[in-house]
């Protein structure tokens, strides 16, 4: 495990767009938060405003920005502008030795899940599953709780999540301690059968998603189950699943029924209700650090992500 160096006021963060083109208006509306509230300087990647269909530039352009930010000694951390689609197209071409030799804060979520998984499994670097600039920070209703999550980058801070933050539901009893891995459910499923397949053995698996109907979530869970990912994990952290209502009126299972089908018979802790994912407030957590998930305490405690 490699924890990146903590940020300090006056440090410079680089902004990259490794997936879809970000909303540039929202991106620029997010910069004052970094400057004025966090005390950071900002350097925007050369290709962040590029477009190639539904991608923020061609593969080489997006990889070039990512490599440059890790290589540049003036850049102390890297924050993704947004998600969408495209990081899975980069992972076979990234030079992971650059990242391993220049470990830095790397922050994002959603489609960035593919990069989180690839970077961690190739280098051991702890990365951060947290709100992004264009898709979150730059929107009008981005809240103070979500803003406060960036403070964990400046001081080693354990994340203590209990029902004080949101109601939690127990699907299976137990307590387990292990490394936190995972992120966006559909991206985790996309990794199966690739050289970057999510490794859940002995780990706490975090899953979240947005805009997927219950039958789709069911199919994703079934894929992870058949691939052995649930059995190998020592606990399941179910984050936020929003916008799950079927588009057309039809017979369906509820999300809780889907959760219960896959998790109630497990002999390991499984809890849902964590506001981690496409939601507000959005609680950011480091991936690759140790954590404890407990049904008895109804809590998740995640070790600090920075040195």
- Which residues are known to be catalytic? 110, 208, 278
Angstrom distance (rounded) from CA 263 to CA 229: 13
Token pair, residue 165, equals: 């933050």
Instruction: Print the SS3 string covering the chain.
Output: CECCCCCCCCCEEEEECCCCCCCHHHHHHHHHHHHHHCCCEEEECCCCCCCECCECCCHHHHHHHHHHHHHCCCCCEEEECCCCCCHHHCCCCCCHHHHHHCCCEEEECHHHHHHHHHHHHHHCECEEECCCHHHHHCCCCCCHHHHHHHHHHCCCCCEEECCCCCCCEEEECCEEEEEEEEEEHHHHHHHCCCCCCCCCCCCEEEEEEECCCHHHHHHHHHHHHHCCHHHHCCEEEEEEEECCCCCCCCCCCCHHHHHHHHHCCCCCCEEECCCCCCCCCCCCEEECCEEEEECCCCEEEECCCCC
Residue 2's nearest CA partner among 106, 109, 74, 75 is: 106
What is the rounded CA–CA span in Å between residue 91 and residue 238? 26
């Amino acid at each position: 495990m490699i924890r990146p160096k903590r940020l300090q006021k006056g440090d410079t963060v680089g902004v990259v767009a490794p997936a879809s083109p970000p909303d540039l208006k929202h991106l620029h509306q997010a910069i004052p938060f970094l400057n004025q509230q966090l005390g950071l300087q900002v350097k925007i990647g050369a290709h962040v405003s590029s477009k190639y269909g539904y991608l923020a530039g061609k593969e080489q352009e997006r990889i070039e920005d990512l490599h440059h930010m890790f290589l540049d000694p003036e850049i102390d951390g890297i924050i993704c502008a947004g998600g969408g689609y495209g990081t899975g197209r980069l992972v076979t071409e990234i030079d992971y030795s650059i990242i391993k030799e220049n470990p830095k804060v790397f922050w994002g979520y959603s489609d960035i899940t593919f990069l989180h998984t690839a970077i961690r499994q190739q280098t051991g670097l702890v990365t951060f599953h947290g709100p992004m600039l264009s898709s979150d920070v730059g929107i009008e209703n981005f809240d103070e709780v979500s803003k406060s999550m960036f403070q964990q980058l400046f001081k080693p801070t354990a994340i203590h999540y209990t029902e004080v933050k949101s109601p939690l539901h127990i699907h299976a009893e137990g307590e387990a301690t292990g490394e936190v891995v995972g992120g966006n459910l559909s991206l985790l499923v996309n990794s199966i059968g690739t050289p970057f397949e999510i490794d859940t053995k002995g780990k706490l698996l975090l899953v979240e998603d947005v805009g997927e109907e219950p039958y789709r979530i069911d199919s994703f869970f079934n894929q992870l189950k058949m691939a052995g990912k649930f059995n190998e994990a020592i606990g399941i952290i179910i984050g936020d699943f929003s916008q799950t209502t079927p588009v057309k009126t039809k017979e369906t299972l509820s999300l809780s029924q889907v959760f219960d089908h896959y998790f109630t018979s497990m002999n390991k802790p499984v809890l849902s209700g964590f506001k981690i994912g496409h939601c507000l407030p959005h609680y950011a957590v480091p991936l690759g650090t140790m954590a404890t998930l407990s049904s008895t305490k109804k809590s998740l405690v995640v070790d600090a992500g920075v040195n």
